[in-house]
């Protein structure tokens, strides 16, 4: 046999290849099996779980309510599973996803330790050829990416990083073995949602913890609590109501915005609303607040001032409190980390805050971190430095569409998609949580996207169609909606992954239209219309 013939004989062929066995990949597998398709899921990790497999850093947990976060598609699953906390810790969520994989017998179609390196569209065969890092090849009619929006971890570009002789871990690549902090001098770089959760946990046992903060974030209390059996029973009885609520809210959380504007009420009433939200569980203070806090500067200043006062009240040293209060962006214009005694950590004698705007990091040394002020010695450095969000996981696979066009190249000035599901020039590539899909409470978005993709494939199957591509006109149309829905948001003026900025990634230093900021119901309405009209906005053949 010629090498080419041999390669082709060894190439397993499927109706659909799914990349990733996280929450999206698992549910997509289940739905495509129902259509009778042959499916192979390729998972880089050694277990199911995706985000909840990789992010095992200390203190990792949901910050949307557990019972609004789990899958809703199976009544049996809802009945048999108990959440032990209002905001489930990572080990429990990983157990849950393993339970789902077992319950629906999903593992037999999942290949673990299978990291996808390249994917190329073959127009003549109307198939994708996928190559793994180990050299194996597979082909599939459809290629479905279930690779997550926040799954490509990034390390800071600080000189000397490789020279550090102690332990170092990125939060999203945390080891499976237990990592202990007792008696150790630990550094955490980064104060986003991952950093905040890590810091408040590590501070409990570390000999000394130094937090390196470049930009403080506006954090609000999580108010987590245990869920007893009786309370879980009551939650089970309300599942229909819970998911119906998630389906109607802006970002699929349980909290609905107050329809009033910030200054429509008296000063006393406004203060009382803020106090109530600050004392309540979850994201209410962000997404259940007065309707104009994210668009009106004066309204935003009011809630920012309220949270700043809380920080000052909770942090004993006024100079430290001031460093923890954001000065270059308002409350909610970046992702709000939810915290549990985070600010009190800075009252502990074993915790120190280094403000990198005053004393930037110059380099990592063999023994620790050198700032412009001095050398800090460490046994461990934790990088809570985030992700190449939204497009990073795509960029890490060499994806080639029609005529060998590279997706990374195609998106180099910013991604362009039709509803986040497809990009022009990449037939039969279907993206779950692709750029410009509605995000919010992620599993709610996942279930919708998987159902939509399943609907499209079922539609094509029933009509003997084998090729689907979003034409440029449809992409342009959706991108117009994306632009319009983002107009007037204060978040547009702030650098964060919301606006596509990651200073650790070449070419991602400036703000772009990185995500869809309209409501989830509006997104679903648009995508439902596309389906109801027979996917006329796609080129099907």
Give the CB-nearest residue to ligand N01: 192
Q: How far is CA 63 from the centre of its chain?
A: 12
Please give the structure tokens belonging to residue 484.
């319009």
Our CB check for ligand N01 shows the closer of 427 and 500 to be 500
Q: Minimum Å distance from CB 538 to ligand N01?
A: 30
Nearer to ligand N01, 20 or 140 (CB): 20
Name which of 127 and 334 has its Cβ closer to ligand N01. Answer: 334
Q: Which two tokens stand for residue 187?
A: 């550094």
> 353 vs 120, 221, 268, 302, CA distance in Å?
48, 20, 34, 27
**Least distance (Å) between residue 512 CB and ligand N01:** 16
Between CA 100 and CA 94, with CA 137 as vertex, the angle to 5 degrees is: 20
- Between strands 375-377 and 368-371, the pairing is antiparallel
Say how many C-beta atoms besides its own lie within 10 A of residue 252's C-beta.
Answer: 28
Pairing of strands 429-431, 220-221: unpaired
At its nearest, how many Å lie between ligand N01 and the CB of residue 449? 17
* Shortest Å distance, C-beta 336 to ligand N01: 9
Query: Do residues 39 and 12 lie in contact, with contact meaning Cβ atoms separated by under 8 Å?
Result: no
Looking at the Cβ atoms of 69 and 81, the one nearer to ligand N01 is 69
Which has the closest alpha carbon to 209: 346, 405, 391, 357? 346
30 versus 150: smaller Cβ distance to ligand N01: 150
Q: What is the largest CA-CA distance in the chain?
A: 83
**Least CB distance to ligand N01 at residue 58 (A):** 12
Q: How far is CA 257 from CA 262, 269, 291, 437, 539, in A?
A: 11, 16, 6, 21, 38
Quickly list DSSP for 445-469. HHHHHHHHHHHHHHHHHHTT---EE
The candidate with the shortest Cα–Cα distance to 276, out of 306, 305, 248, is 306
CB of 150 to ligand N01, least distance (A): 4
497 neighbors 72 (Cβ within 8 angstroms): no
CA distance 446 to 272: 36
Closest CA relative to residue 478, chosen from 417, 540, 405: 417
Dihedral sign for Cα 19, 23, 29, 32, please. negative
To which residue do tokens 């180990």 refer?
134
> Least Å distance between CB 164 and ligand N01?
15
Binding site for ligand N01 (CB under 6 A): 61-63, 150, 156, 158, 189-195, 197, 214-215, 335, 356, 384-387, 497, 504
On the 0-12 / 13-18 / 19+ scale of CB atoms within 10 A, 265 is middle
CB 384, min distance to ligand N01, A: 6
Output 359 or 504, the one with its CB closest to ligand N01.
504
Backbone angles phi, psi at 511, to 5 degrees: -75, 135
Nearer to ligand N01, 42 or 152 (CB): 152
Question: How far apart are CB 45 and ligand N01 at their closest, in Å?
Answer: 18
122: which 2 tokens? 């073959």
Q: CB nearer to ligand N01: give 114 or 172.
A: 172
Please, what is the minimum distance in Å from the beta carbon of residue 326 to ligand N01?
9
Report in angstroms the alpha-carbon separations of 123 from 39, 40, 175, 397, 404: 20, 21, 41, 19, 10
Nearer of residues 191 and 499 to ligand N01, judged by Cβ: 191
Least distance (Å) between residue 156 CB and ligand N01: 3
Q: Which is nearer to ligand N01, 213 or 422 (CB)?
A: 213
Nearer CB in complex with ligand N01: 341/526: 341
């Amino acid at each position: 046999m010629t090498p080419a013939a041999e390669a082709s004989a060894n190439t397993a062929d499927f109706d659909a290849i799914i990349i990733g066995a996280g929450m999206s990949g698992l549910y997509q597998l289940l739905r495509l099996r129902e259509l009778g398709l042959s499916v192979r899921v390729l998972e880089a990790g050694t277990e199911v779980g995706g985000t909840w497999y990789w992010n095992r850093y200390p203190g990792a947990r949901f910050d949307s309510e557990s019972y609004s976060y789990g899958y809703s598609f199976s009544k049996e699953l809802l009945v048999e599973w108990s959440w032990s906390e209002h905001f489930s810790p990572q080990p429990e969520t990983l157990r849950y996803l393993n339970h789902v994989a077992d319950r629906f017998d999903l593992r037999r179609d999942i290949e673990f330790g299978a990291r996808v390196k390249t994917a190329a569209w073959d127009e003549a065969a109307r198939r994708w050829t996928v190559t793994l890092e180990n050299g194996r090849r597979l082909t599939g009619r459809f290629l479905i990416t279930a690779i997550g929006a926040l799954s490509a971890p990034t390390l800071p570009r600080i000189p000397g990083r490789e020279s550090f002789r102690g332990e170092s871990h990125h939060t999203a690549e945390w080891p499976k073995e237990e990592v202990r902090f007792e008696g150790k001098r630990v550094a955490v770089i980064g104060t986003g949602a991952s950093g905040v959760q890590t810091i408040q946990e590590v501070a409990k046992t570390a000999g000394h913890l130094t937090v390196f903060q470049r930009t403080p974030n506006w954090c609000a209390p999580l108010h987590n609590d245990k869920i007893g059996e009786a309370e879980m029973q009551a939650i089970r009885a309300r599942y229909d109501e819970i998911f119906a609520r998630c389906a109607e809210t802006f970002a699929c959380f349980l909290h609905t915005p107050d329809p009033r504007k910030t200054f429509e009420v008296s000063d006393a009433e406004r203060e009382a609303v803020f106090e109530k939200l600050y004392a309540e569980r979850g994201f209410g203070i962000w997404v259940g607040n007065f309707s104009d806090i994210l668009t009106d500067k004066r309204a935003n200043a009011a809630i920012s001032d309220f949270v700043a006062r809380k920080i000052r009240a909770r942090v004993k040293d006024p100079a430290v409190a001031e460093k923890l209060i954001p000065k270059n962006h308002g409350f909610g214009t970046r992702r709000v980390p939810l915290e549990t005694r985070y600010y009190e950590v800075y009252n502990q004698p074993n915790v120190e805050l280094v403000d990198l705007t005053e004393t930037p990091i110059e380099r990592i040394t063999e023994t620790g971190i050198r700032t412009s002020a001095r050398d800090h010695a460490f046994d461990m450095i934790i990088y809570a430095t985030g992700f190449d969000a939204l497009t990073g996981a795509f960029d890490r696979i060499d994806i080639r569409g029609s005529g060998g066009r590279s997706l990374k190249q195609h998106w180099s000035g910013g991604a362009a998609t039709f509803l986040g599901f497809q990009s022009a020039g990449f037939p039969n590539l279907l993206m779950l949580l692709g750029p410009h899909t509605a995000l919010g409470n992620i599993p709610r978005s996942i279930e919708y996207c998987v159902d939509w993709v399943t609907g499209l494939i079922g539609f094509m199957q029933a009509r003997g169609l084998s090729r689907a591509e979003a034409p440029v006109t449809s992409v342009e149309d959706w991108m117009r909606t994306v632009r319009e829905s983002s107009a007037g948001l204060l978040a547009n003026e702030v650098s964060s992954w919301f606006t596509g900025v990651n200073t650790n990634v070449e070419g991602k230093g400036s703000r772009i239209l990185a995500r869809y900021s309209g409501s989830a119901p509006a997104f679903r309405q648009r995508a439902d219309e596309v389906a109801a009209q027979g996917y006329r906005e796609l080129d099907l053949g």
